[in-house]
Structure 1
């Protein structure tokens, strides 16, 4: 995941919602993608088996890629390959991360998640992923982003050029708080798909407007 260039500020990463119905998930994500600028879409395993994860990806990859939105699959390189996703998101630690990066040899983007400490972040970064991710899928039920993730992002952004993604909270305003750490991307799910902030498309549009107005800009 390259440094943001479109808006020269923190951009949105969508985390697909954990819904029993693949069709419902596709409708919600498609609506969110229609709402405005989105950098990428991550398909988490959540409660899905490989078959339903693949079915979801088969429906969403052409929709997202048609809008120049990269698609990454959590933890399953085989599904990612079958659906022609842009990459994989891995949370198994630095050793597995390094092994998968070497195995894929540049054929896919690789993101590093499951990071809780500075040491883990540095170990992951040394493996050479395309980004590091601070936060855990499904843990965005509180309005604000987790303070630990914000502190990690602020430290990382000051020290390391490799892009970082930070999980926001359920309140759209948490996207701006994440942006103020210097993070390159804010990952959102509950803020978009809970229904509390309008339709997914309306929420994406409102968050982009907030970031356009108030988010710090990156240096060229």
Structure 2
């Protein structure tokens, strides 16, 4: 009698990755974060800071890291790996293979190092082989340009099928969030679609969570 094939375990449901606006004064956002994150399945928050000196950046970051972590959510800094430890953040998001090569040794193994700015498949594979904790696809470049949603879906599906490190899709709309979840994203990064929603960020975040939950079920 032939052995039964081993069933393939279902893919875990994707989770949200929330990027903040560029922050100069952290006080209003720090006050809003507990209610925003309460009861929503957000895996991590990516803190974006406007340019300043390291001391000022560290103080800004500290004020945002604390409420995020109290919500049992990981807190990463967008760049600024040199202040990750001083701010208490869980890690940093690095942009491009060159930045990854330079900065990852200072973060690993104790901190999270995610990598974006991966233009080619080869770049993504280099990041994965170097030990990136996740790879990000679909974020805008310095000029605000980004691939089509179809191209991002293709890249996410390719990565999810072949590689072990998690992949993240940058969603500019709720429709993209659902599509990227269905394509194979482990995490869906949302940013402006949350903060610019006229109904408020809480409603947009709840809808994003719903979109990836429903569409990931349909896509598996």
Pick the TM interval, shorter chain: 0.7 to 0.9
| Counterpart-to-counterpart distance in 1, 2:183 and 2:219 | 12
Deviation per CA, 1:13-43, whole angstroms, max 9, x where unpaired?
A: 0011125543344345444323511000111
| Counterpart-to-counterpart distance in 2, 1:138 and 1:55 | 27
Deviation per CA, 1:127-169, whole angstroms, max 9, x where unpaired?
A: 1111111133688x89x97443222111111111110111001
Matched, 1:112 2:110: no
Q: What is the number of equivalent residue pairs in this alignment?
A: 207
| Counterpart-to-counterpart distance in 2, 1:199 and 1:85 | 26
Name the structure 1 match of 2:186.
184
8 Å CA contact 1:145–1:178 kept in 2: the answer is no
Name the structure 1 match of 2:197.
195
Q: Which runs of 5+ in 2 are unaligned?
A: 1-10
| Counterpart-to-counterpart distance in 1, 2:51 and 2:29 | 12
- Equivalent residues in 2 for 1:148-159, closer than 5 Å: 148-159=151-162
- How far did residue 204 of structure 1 move? 1.5
8 Å CA contact 1:10–1:179 kept in 2: the answer is yes
Name the structure 2 match of 1:84.
88
Name the structure 2 match of 1:68.
72
Q: Which has the higher helix share?
A: 2
**What's the RMSD between the two structures over aligned residues?**
2.8
- How far did residue 102 of structure 1 move? 2.9
Matched, 1:207 2:211: no
Decide whether aligned partners of structure 1 residues 48 and 129 sit closer, same or farther in structure 2, where only a CA change above 3 A counts. Answer: same
| Counterpart-to-counterpart distance in 1, 2:32 and 2:113 | 25
- Output the TM-score relative to the length of structure 2: 0.81
8 Å CA contact 2:18–2:44 kept in 1: the answer is yes
Name the structure 2 match of 1:103.
106
Larger relative CO (CA 8 A, sep 6+): 1 or 2?
1
Decide whether aligned partners of structure 1 residues 147 and 25 sit closer, same or farther in structure 2, where only a CA change above 3 A counts. Answer: farther
Q: Which of structure 1's runs of 4+ aligned residues deviate more than 6 A?
A: none
- How far did residue 214 of structure 1 move? 3.3
- Output the TM-score relative to the length of structure 1: 0.81
Q: Which runs of 5+ in 1 are unaligned?
A: 1-6
Q: Which has the higher strand share?
A: 2
